[in-house]
Amino acid sequence: MPAKRRLTMRAIRHILRLHASGASDRSIGRTIGAARSTVQDTLKRAKAAGLTWPVPADLTDAVLEQRLFARSGVKTGLRRRPEPDWAALAREMKRPGVTMTILHEEYRAAYPEGYGYSRFCDLMREFERRLSPTMRQNHVAGDKVFVDYSGKKLPIVDPATGEVRYAEIFVAVLGASNFTYAEATWTQTLPDWIEAHVRMFRFLGGVPRLVVPDNLKSGVHKASFYDPELNRSYGKLAAHYDVGILPTRSRKPRDKSKVEVGVRFAQFYILGRLRNHTFFSLAEANAAIAGVVERMNAAPLRRLGISRRELFETVERPTLAALPAQDMSSRNGSSPALGSTTTSRWTASSTPCPSASSASKSMCA
């Protein structure tokens, strides 16, 4: 058993109680399942802190731990070396070509007495672990956009008949900035799937290197890391926008984590805020979704102290490839009407492309 391991505060109270009753260090160790040296170290710390049994009734575990283990002369939680702006470094890590080595070199240039490389990396990873799950993964700016349909649907009422029809929620999340796009479509079929991609690119104002779909059958016949088999129309979309398609692989959780977590967050954020609204058309629903998405993108991210939009504008947008001169969209240039089962053939059109700065325009079909 390793010596001097950190005990729980409950075990430490038990040690103080047994020691006050006259038990030997060895017998105390056997009772609590710790080495004798651990018991001795605990009693030494208690003596230095002026603690004896019984401890004051209002002494919480947090205060007890602070009195026993806080280093002399150093404030609790205060590090003795200069600290970089960890949130700024986390944002820099998303830029192409930036590595931990480069960031450490720049840090030591500013603070020659700062942390060594190993400790610097440990503290950086510790900060990243406190980020939300979708922000922990290190994606290079402009590299990937993750797309999928939400498992939840949005009810839309036909004003003429009162019939309720459920619309699908398409969600796209950029890897580096977590900048999010969402819209409602009637189905998950190929026409709606491709039109949603067209509007997504228009909303972003550029094209990332890869699109990562979660194996929707409408777009992907067979997922493969090296040679995915795509639907012909989805392949034409990829060629038109000069973007790679990299479907997530089945039974590969790391492939799916970004899209699944991002979609789940967007799903709760959007549907939770629209749960008390009644919509009578797809356009009305999409206008409301656009407002909620804009609010989500503008909200500051915890720990990073910057919003998805700011991160997108400063880090990710400059790395996106330019849009083609013409959109790829359906021949009639609009989404199917309520109750329609019409499918579309795909051609190039000259529909204007609004930028991501105008959320309401992103839903034009």
* CATH code of the domain containing 279: 3.30.420.10
Query: Identity (one letter) of the amino acid at 277?
Result: H
> What tokens were used for 138?
């290190």
Looking at residue 5, what is its pLDDT? 56
Q: What is the mean pLDDT of residues 320-349?
A: 54
**Is the same domain home to 337 and 234?**
yes
Residue 355 belongs to some domain of the structure: yes
Q: What distance, in Å, lies between the first and last C-alpha atoms of the chain?
A: 67
Q: Is residue 31 scored above 90 in pLDDT?
A: no
* Low-confidence winner among 115-129, 170-184, 207-221, 348-362 (lowest mean pLDDT): 348-362
Residue 352 belongs to some domain of the structure: yes
Q: Is residue 280 scored above 60 in pLDDT?
A: yes
Our count of domains for the chain comes to 3
Per residue in 223-261, pLDDT tens?
A: 444 445 677 888 888 899 999 888 765 555 555 555 666
Q: Which pLDDT band, with edges at 50, 70 and 90, does 130 fall under?
A: low
Residue 1 belongs to some domain of the structure: no
Q: Is residue 12 scored above 80 in pLDDT?
A: yes
Residue 228 belongs to some domain of the structure: yes
Domain range for 39 is 9-69
**Is the same domain home to 112 and 233?**
no
Q: Is residue 181 scored above 50 in pLDDT?
A: yes
Query: 40, 69, 98 — which closes off a domain?
Result: 69
Looking at residue 323, what is its pLDDT? 93
**Is the same domain home to 109 and 154?**
no
Q: Which pLDDT band, with edges at 50, 70 and 90, does 165 fall under?
A: very high
Report how far apart, in Å, the C-alpha atoms of 241 and of each of 38, 211, 317 are: 64, 11, 16
Distance between CA atoms of 36 and 53, rounded to whole angstroms? 19
**Is the same domain home to 187 and 313?**
yes
**Is the same domain home to 234 and 295?**
yes
CA angle 85, 88, 93 (to 5 degrees): 125
Residue 3 belongs to some domain of the structure: no
CA atoms within 13 A on the CB side of 357: 3
Distance between CA atoms of 131 and 253, rounded to whole angstroms? 20
Q: Where is pLDDT greater, at 221 or 199?
A: 199
**Is the same domain home to 149 and 291?**
yes
**Is the same domain home to 216 and 319?**
yes
- For residue 178, give the 3-state DSSP assignment: coil
Query: Identity (one letter) of the amino acid at 320?
Result: L
**Is the same domain home to 315 and 226?**
yes
**Is the same domain home to 115 and 49?**
no
Residue 194 belongs to some domain of the structure: yes
* Element at 62 (helix H, strand E): helix 61-69
Looking at residue 365, what is its pLDDT? 39
**Is the same domain home to 164 and 124?**
no
**b vs e for 53-75, b when ≥16 Cβ sit within 10 Å of the residue's Cβ?**
eebeeeeeeeebeebbeeeeeee
* pTM exceeds cut of 0.85: no
Looking at residue 79, what is its pLDDT? 60
**Is the same domain home to 189 and 337?**
yes
